[in-house]
Structure 1
């Protein structure tokens, strides 16, 4: 998020939303847009592709909070939510819905920038964790495929595990493919033949 950061302010009261936008523009170099109509929030946010979404809501219910959070695309960008008061469990629900920052006691201009910075940092940390988790899952699935393919080669050729892997690796090098791709093709072909 380099250059001028784009922020969407979600505020049902258009005048209050404009005040928040003015406060943000005074706090830094931001391109701020206000959305006060909540009926098509997800489409509006998707069309504008902001760097961050700031939601200001007086007294959220669990359903409203989750709906706003999910519509804001918390997996795509940081979402900071400012509420005037919060009932038990609402902050947990917001975090579970993907909100990066959940601030009770309303939106105060002096703390908007630090909260946005914290929301961005937290979002980036979770993004890295999601990427690492996805890579780990992919590697585990590939390892399972390779092990199945090695077992098939061991059974078909009567060789040990090391030799079965060497056969897989050689086939991958000969075809200019990854070992996991050759293993997947072998497992798929064996499934079709059985």
Structure 2
């Protein structure tokens, strides 16, 4: 069973979400003097990161948050339903990118709003589990969607992404996560995976 954060239920009020209690991922503060605020409590209180802002490295600083509920309001049920109604992968992808994916990052703010440094905030992973969950829901909407993908495989120009494009894991977890073609990671209960979402 894979647990994830159902962001659409908290659109416009992320700071009230149970996941942002001290016993889970720590509180979600607003900005301090227009800037991010260090996580004030819980397991991740004053968590340090060396990455960011941007591509800066070896820059120790606390992971920060700065909630913007006007932005989080764009992560709700309307955006979710609009994206799930898209019939092609490119349309679904662009819908997700410019609604609840981007606004989930920007709504939490500060570290999460930094495209390079955002994995430094542990909530990044719960946010991306939600994005993965919505992709799975979209796939299940039609049989033809279960093996469809598109986009660019590289950032230099655009080598088309295909089912045979290799995903290189760089040995980050040894033999448990081998390099694999895209086709092997498109289904949660087939190929390399064996999990389902909690609902």
Asked if these proteins are the same fold (TM beyond 0.5), I'd say no
**Structure with the larger RCO, 1 or 2 (CA within 8 Å, 6+ apart):** 2
- TM class by shorter-chain length? under 0.3
Larger radius of gyration: 1
